Structure 1
Amino acid sequence: MKVYKIFGFKPDRKFGRVAIVEFSIPAGPGRKYAYLLGSFNAFNEGSFRMRKEGDRWRTAVKLPEGIWHYAFSIDGEFTPDPENPRREVYRRLSYKFERETSVAVIDGGDWPFHAPSATYLYTVAGRTHVLLSAKAGAVTKATLVLPESEGMVGMRRKARDGLFEYFEAVLPGDGELEYSFEIQTRKGQIKRMGPFRAVPYRPETPRWVYERVFYQIMPDRFERGLPGTPRGRAFRGEESHGGDLAGIIKRLGHLEELGVNALYLTPIFESMTYHRYDVTDYFSIDRKLGGWGVFRELVRELKKRDIRLILDGVFHHTSFFHPYFQDVARAGERSKYRGFYRITGFPVVPEQFLRILHSEESWIERYQRMKSLDWNYESFYSVWLMPRLNHDSPEVRKFIRGVMEYWLERGADGWRLDVAHGVPPELWREMRKAMPEEAYLVGEVMDDPRPWVPDAFHGTMNYPLYELILRFFAEGEIDAGEFLNGLELLSAHLGPVEYAMYNFLDNHDTERFLDLVGDRRRYLCALAFLMTYKGIPSIFYGDEIGLRGRLGGGLSAGRASMVWDRGKWDTEIFETTKRLIRLRRRSRALQLGEFVPVRFQGRTMIYERVLGDERVRVEIRYSMEPEDCVFHVTTP
């Protein structure tokens, strides 16, 4: 029995210690490639590529302690570990995943653990958080022991998962700390850990981020500002609505009225589709959106209004029609870009594929016919239009860095990195080191983000929080107590990174939250939570007016066109959203304050956000019966 192997633990500046875990699987004849998938990369190919050694595929990763779910992708085929008898169905509402997976238990031993590191000893806004972990049920009481003049501080039992419990104490000040722990075990023994002496970890997030409320726009669906027919080449029959960057400039007054002060645009570079996640030229603004001149004007107008801008970087794959891939398709093994992509054989596409591509049929007919053929390259979710980049290539890394720096120099304030969980973490760490300190980097990581933060990204799109929100507010699967435990467990896992996470109720890849809960009051209660919790809140265009999408519509379910007829707006949602944004922007306690649970019981949650003398109290009484949903936010 091979199973996964744990080659010991090593100290880690993020998590105190991590396990070196080797995963392997029999190679089998004729197989071309293999990837490790798991809850650490949203079961996505690309990030943890396996190497073939003899008759097995292998890879080693560093993982924090805990229970991890995993599988393999062999030539694109999802495969649980055939040598590990422990399997469970792993389900995530947030990215619609439910499959039988293998289970890896990473456990460093029975004794309680602490090491000065980013998640066990850190400072935020002038206070210091100290955490201790222990096997679930092993410790009945934990006390933080300070030098004699400062005394002892009881530690709160913060959260619990299937293996561990976490205890926390919060202290004033952010300087070097000398401390130890007094621990009472389940057997009644009193033990000491320490002493420790360390400077708490201080996050390196750009300070401007904490003061922002983001507004996400998919340009094609927002507003049209240019006259005439959009220029540029696209798939005919694609569901293009004609929005452009001039339309965004036209509606900047709406963003100011709403009160948002940061903008996230889905891809705006040359592409063949309305969504533009298949880029053909990374150094050009899509002519269908107005081109470079309009982008320059947009940047100028945003800076006048102190609205920050982050762009969407698609570096997991390019378009089939990108010149580099076209050269590979044309020249084959002679192409100088053959190492730029994950090619599995030549020619990369059969002659029939090219004949259909250049035929006179409609784009949709061509697309569907080509989809049914085989091709010799890895791609995003086996979509022929999106060939996967070879992230091991120095040239690819140089290219990605060049694109990111180019647009930061031309007015962008940061990047949201698409399919970030499908790109090796070390590539993002390399990019992070190369970028200016003031550039906000947020990755699309749809599950546990620990392998990616805080060294690769300042934060990620907060899918673990979204999962909890769905289970409590939308599905009613968990009560307030379970919701709180989930929040506090996420806090224990992420530490100060939680304050820089990009939080949302919906986005361009999800159904509209209003559609999911089906009622204005339930939506507003969830929005009140989002605006008063830790992390950077965001609004998806149209949420503020009650824009509806369609349930069960897949990735495009929420991509409805913005409605500009005010007579069709939900004015209660609009006015409440404005009030909550104003509250968020003027409150340092909501931006960086400590989260203090008061009561989480049944479907009621009461908590405070505290920073210095400022204390904000939030009460949300939620019900699956809409008329019973209310929230109150009390400020000094």
Structure 2
Amino acid sequence: MSLPADTATWWHVYPLGALGAPIHDRPTDGDHAHRLRRLDPWLDYVAELGCTGLLLGPIFASTSHGYDTVDHHRIDPRLGDDADFDRLVARARERGLSVLLDGVFNHVGRRHGLVDKTLEAGAGPVRLDETGHGPAPHPWEGHDDLAELDHDDPAVGELVESVMLHWLRRGIAGWRLDAAYCVPPRFWREVIGRTRTEFPEALFVAEMIHGDYADFAQASGIDAVTQYELWKAIWSSVLDTNLWELAWALERHERFNARALTQTFVGNHDVTRIASRVGDAGAVLALVVLMSVPGMPSIYYGDEQAFRGVKGSGPRGDDPLRPELPDSPAQLAPHGWWLHDLHRELIGLRHRNPWLTGGHVAVVAKDCTWIDYETTAPGHRLQVHIELEPGPAARIVIDGAPAFDWHG
């Protein structure tokens, strides 16, 4: 099911955590469950929120947290099986929801079959380091449980292409490419180019943390890149009462979006929850920015309910960011629904104005405690005023008509 980028708003969920799968201390006899079915009660919730797709974190067989894949062609048994996946895609489609999968193609888990095959042959699709005890897999960013792939080896391109096609044929809309910034852009261009011969409308979103986002997108053939610069400026400018930082980031954002689509966000599975960073009022202001600037936005599950979670360190440092959901939305705590309603209102505003995705943003005026900016497209103009003092407030005017007015 394809999804036009100008109408896309994703609900980003980390399935292993959200569905209560054991991650760190897995039973020695394995854990086999049909947890993907636990998403069923949440599909109507996502559609009613106004989102148009599910951005799923890792769902393939892995050792622990999902980013240590051991089999890209198999659903993690902690989540279910092929039938559970097909059921999820079909039920999502019934509600007009597309599905984007998280593809971890920069590295594999240490227990992936490719690792032992490469070690036995002395060369192959996994990068090796020479050590005093013989060759060993090259760890990704110092993580010994993750082995980097060699993207110069044709076998890696063949693997990635086969995985992409396999799941696209099962009905997904496209891929989020984990750690895409670590992979040569030419690799993505070649593999995505071949994949698009069968699925020309597939969507590819690259995780980019630093660098020139637009240059990377154009060199790689990828559709969109994650906008970490804007994410940082949104929460930091509110936290430090320095909207000059947001103004600078919006100017950069305009330059990026003039050349490539960005995937915008204020929360994901790797960062401290927005409400924990800046409080409830700050979370509203962050949402206003997210929904009023160019790009393709995503909402991290629970942010719309003011979930808290602070990123820690060590093997369990991400656990607070990836909590288990209750069995249904009806079991959510009552204190978060006010923020849910604001999300629904602003997502709806954005969907009624799809031109925002490819619009142009410009800062009109600013000071440390307030900012005025506008997003425009031919025949349209959205104006935003945000202030931090004397109290948090936000106002949106679209084509001369008041569209949103909030005071904390």
User: TM (normalized to structure 1)?
Assistant: 0.57
User: Is 1:222 the equivalent of 2:12?
Assistant: no
What per-residue deviation string (whole Å, max 9, x for no partner) do you get for residues 427-474 of structure 1? 111123123231111111101224411241111111121122233123
More helix by share: 2
Q: Is the 8 A contact 1:509 1:557 kept in 2?
A: no
Identify the residue that residue 237 of structure 2 maps to in structure 1. Answer: 472
Aligned equivalents of 1:232 and 1:580: distance in 2?
35
CA 459–433 in structure 1, closer or farther in 2 if over 3 Å, else same = same
Q: Are residues 1:432 and 2:197 paired?
A: no
After superposition, the Cα gap between the structure-2 partners of 1:473 and 1:421, relative to the gap in structure 1 and judged at 3 Å, is same
Please, what is the CA RMSD of the aligned residues? 2.7
**3-state SS, counterpart of residue 83 of structure 2:** helix
Distance in 2 separating the partners of 1:602 and 1:495: 27
* Equivalent position of 2:217 in the other structure: 453
Match in the other structure for 1:245 = 36
Match of 1:415 among 162, 166, 175: 175
Q: Which moved more, 1:385-394 or 1:248-257?
A: 248-257
SS at match of 2:138: coil
Change (3 A) 1:394 1:450: same
Aligned to 1:634: 397
Pair 532,348 (structure 1): closer, same or farther in 2 beyond 3 Å: farther
> Secondary structure, in 3 states, of the residue corresponding to 1:511?
coil
Question: 1:589–1:609: 8 Å Cα contact kept in structure 2?
Answer: no
Contact 1:593 1:611 in 2 (8 A): yes
Question: Which residue pairs with 1:547 in the alignment?
Answer: 307
Secondary structure in 2 aligned to 1:634?
strand
Distance in 2 between residues matched to 1:256 and 1:284, nearest whole Å: 27
SS at match of 2:230: helix
Q: CA deviation digits over 1:504-548, x for unaligned, max 9?
A: 11110111011011x211110111111111111110000111111
Structure 2 residue corresponding to 1:264, chosen from 55, 73, 79? 55
Query: What is the letter of the counterpart of residue 339 of structure 2?
Result: I
- Determine if the alignment matches structure 1 residue 603 to structure 2 residue 369: yes
Match of 1:255 in 2: 46
Are the equivalent residues in 2 in contact too, given 1:606–1:617 (CA < 8 A)? Answer: yes
For residues 168 and 132 of structure 2, the distance between their equivalents in structure 1, rounded to whole angstroms, comes to 37
In 2 relative to 1, CA 609–450 (structure 1 residues): closer, same or farther, beyond 3 Å?
closer
Partner of 1:492: 255
Alpha-carbon shift at residue 493 of structure 1 (Å): 4.7
1:463 aligns with 2:223: no
Q: Comparing both structures, which one devotes a greater share of its residues to strand?
A: 1
The count of aligned residue pairs is 384
Aligned counterpart in structure 2 of residue 305 of structure 1, from 91, 95, 110: 95
- Find the aligned partners of 1:231 and 1:514 in 2 and give their Cα distance: 26
Supply the distance in 2 between the matched residues of 1:474 and 1:404 (Cα, whole angstroms).
40
Could you say which residue in structure 2 is the equivalent of 1:513? 274
| TM superposition shift of 1:421 | 1.2
Shift of 1:214: 0.8
**Distance 1:486-1:231 versus aligned 2 partners, 3 A rule:** closer
Question: What is the correspondence of 1:188-203 to structure 2 with a 5 Å cutoff?
Answer: none
The separation in 2 between residues aligned to 1:293 and 1:557, in whole angstroms, is 30
Q: Secondary structure of the residue that 2:268 maps to in structure 1?
A: coil
- Where in structure 2 are there 5+ consecutive unaligned residues? 402-408
> What letter is aligned with 1:547?
F
Match among 297, 318, 339 for residue 124 of structure 2:
339
Question: What letter is aligned with 1:634?
Answer: V
The equivalent of 1:211 in structure 2 is 7
For 2:368 and 2:131, how far apart are their aligned partners in 1?
60
| Residue of structure 2 in register with 1:588 after alignment | 354
Q: Distance in 2 between matches of 1:551 and 1:397?
A: 34
Give the residue type in structure 1 aligned to 2:344.
K
Q: Which residue of 1 aligns with 2:406?
A: none
Which structure's CA Rg is the greater one? 1
Q: Secondary structure at the match of 2:385?
A: strand
Selected match of 1:399 from 156, 159, 167: 159
Assess if the C-alpha contact under 8 Å between 1:234 and 1:271 holds in 2: no
Identity %: 27
Alpha-carbon offset, residue 325 of structure 1: 1.6
The alpha carbon displacement at 1:494 in A equals 5.0
Matched to 1:583, the amino acid is: L
| Higher RCO (C-alpha under 8 Å, 6+ residues apart) | 2
5+ long unaligned stretches in structure 1: 1-205, 225-229, 350-374
1:223 to partner: Cα distance: 3.7
Question: Is contact 1:222–1:243 with CA below 8 Å preserved after alignment?
Answer: no
Partner of 2:322: 559
The code of the aligned residue for 2:230 comes to L
Letter in 2 for 1:461: T
Change over 3 Å in CA distance of 1:236–1:511 after alignment to 2: farther
Distance 1:282 1:303, change over 3 A: same
Distance in 2 (alpha carbons) for counterparts of 1:261 and 1:571: 20
Q: Distance in 2 between matches of 1:622 and 1:561?
A: 33
Q: Secondary structure at the match of 1:384?
A: strand
Q: How many angstroms apart in 1 are the aligned matches of 2:214 and 2:5?
A: 20
Measure the CA separation in 2 of the matches of 1:233 and 1:606.
46
